[in-house]
Amino acid sequence: MNKRSGRCFWLCAALCCAVFFVTGCGKNFYFAGRILPPSKVKNRVLIAIQNPGPFNKGQLLFVDAFYDIRHSFDNKLPQFSIGGFGGAQPVTIQNIPEHQNGAIYNSGDGSLVLADYATEAAQAAIGGLAGPSSSVFITQDLRFVYAASQQSHALTVLDRGLGASYYLNLPGIFRVSVNPSGTVVLAFVQNSDTVYSLVHLQANQTLPPSVHAADCEPQNLPIYCAVPVVDKLGNPIKFDRPTKAVFSPDGSTGYVLNCGPECGGSQASVSYLPTAGVIVNSGTSSVAPGAGLDLTGFIPIPGGATNALPAGNTLYVAGQQLQPDGLFSGNLTVLDAAGQKVSGQYGITDGPHSKMILADDNTLWIGSTLCQEGERYLGSASSAADKTTGCLAMFNTATQAVMFDSYKGDLTGLAAVTQLHKLYVAEGGQVHIYSTVDGHELDNSQVTITGTAYDVAYMDGASNGNNTTY
């Protein structure tokens, strides 16, 4: 063997050893330090499936989104699933891909279950929720759970680190909004113009006499209190049927969405709430006069405001506008968040807009339910094309063009499969796939499921921002 061929031999041997080390020994990693899962699939979309019936439980199946198949590429496994899952009627997946977890809420038994993406197995249900929850959120470090327990009229706080549970009496509560770090918790009450923040009292600390909390627990030695969000004079702010809050990318501002006419109020708008004044663990600063919201931060949104998605200095706001005939028409409002002004308004699908997500190719996808009960379908001026419009719309953020899907039923789940230019959806109880390049529907014949697909999540998303439930 000459020197040149010898060097080639040893170089090839070294490369082979390196490949063997990465793929054949110990723990395997594929990106960002994440462990290669047992399925060896690197682009997984999780599907929450409901199987109604007294003797049936839900399922968590996942598919290979690279090939758009629900079985292994070599056909050795007929389908992929999260092992050990037994929740009833799963309805939402809070996707936490950076931490290789997903939190699945099951409406049938009121349970919250963590799915471990690395092991592809479910953990035991998290205990302590006060019955069914209309809104539930777990912090990214998995320590705290906050829930709106509507039937129990309670704001639930679970500290998993201490094993402690607190239930604050808040009649009519229907939603909690929590910032990504879990340091701000806002509670929303139906048919109310007040927003409540959660305050964690420090040791030997009490609320000022001027602050009237809705409730503090435990009552004999309060640790948590639900208090109204106040203005600079310390008075509770009168919002306009606030329905939720989303948070700016830098975390400094909470955008409170005032639903207005869509929820029985007067004027839809976005309120700017400085988060420094409502940090959970800052003691009384969140309720002290001078730390509240400046009332000039109300930006009218004529098209309605029930859901929103921030992107840099832009806030995309979805809602419905009341029409002269009494029906509602869907709208997307583009808000210059930094300049506090509306820069555009575009017609989208009707119905309550529960899902929004940004995807490849400058696309924003908006999903709604009950889209066939709005102006497009029932209005006297509706065209034949309007009556075939479905509950999914694609907005191109570069060209401002809007595309509508054909009607397939309620849109209940969105998952952007980034870098692959695809969008997975749960629509009409089935899984559908769309191209983000031009919006056309892709072949879904190998990912259809038996049962009712209710939510989807991209398990291998690059960040925890790849999530539509917050």
H helical segments located in 382-446: none
78 alpha-carbon distance from chain centroid: 30
Distances (CA, A) of 72 to 51, 80, 174, 230, 426: 24, 8, 41, 55, 22
Q: For every one of its 470 residues, what pLDDT tens digit does the chain have, with 9 covering 90 and above?
A: 454 455 554 544 444 444 433 444 556 777 778 889 999 999 999 999 998 666 678 999 999 999 999 988 887 788 899 999 989 999 999 999 999 999 999 999 999 999 999 999 999 999 999 889 999 999 999 999 999 998 899 999 999 999 999 999 999 999 999 998 889 999 999 999 999 999 998 877 777 776 789 999 998 889 999 999 987 777 888 899 999 999 999 888 999 999 999 999 999 999 998 888 788 875 544 444 334 555 456 899 999 999 999 999 999 999 999 999 999 999 999 999 989 999 999 999 999 999 999 999 999 999 999 999 999 999 988 888 888 899 999 999 999 999 999 999 999 999 999 999 999 999 999 999 999 999 999 999 999 999 999 999 999 999 998 998 77
Q: Which neighbouring-strand residues pair with 392?
A: 367
Distances (CA, A) of 315 to 178, 248, 344, 348, 377: 17, 9, 11, 16, 28
Which of 110, 101, 104 lies closest to 35, judged by CA?
101
Give the C-alpha separation, 128 to 119, whole Å: 25
Q: Which neighbouring-strand residues pair with 83?
A: 121
Give the C-alpha separation, 136 to 130, whole Å: 11
Yes or no: say if 443 and 68 are a contact pair by the CB < 8 Å rule.
yes
| 226, amino acid identity | A
**Tokens 């007040």, residue located:** 194
Give the C-alpha separation, 210 to 229, whole Å: 13
What is the predicted pLDDT for the residue at 52? 66
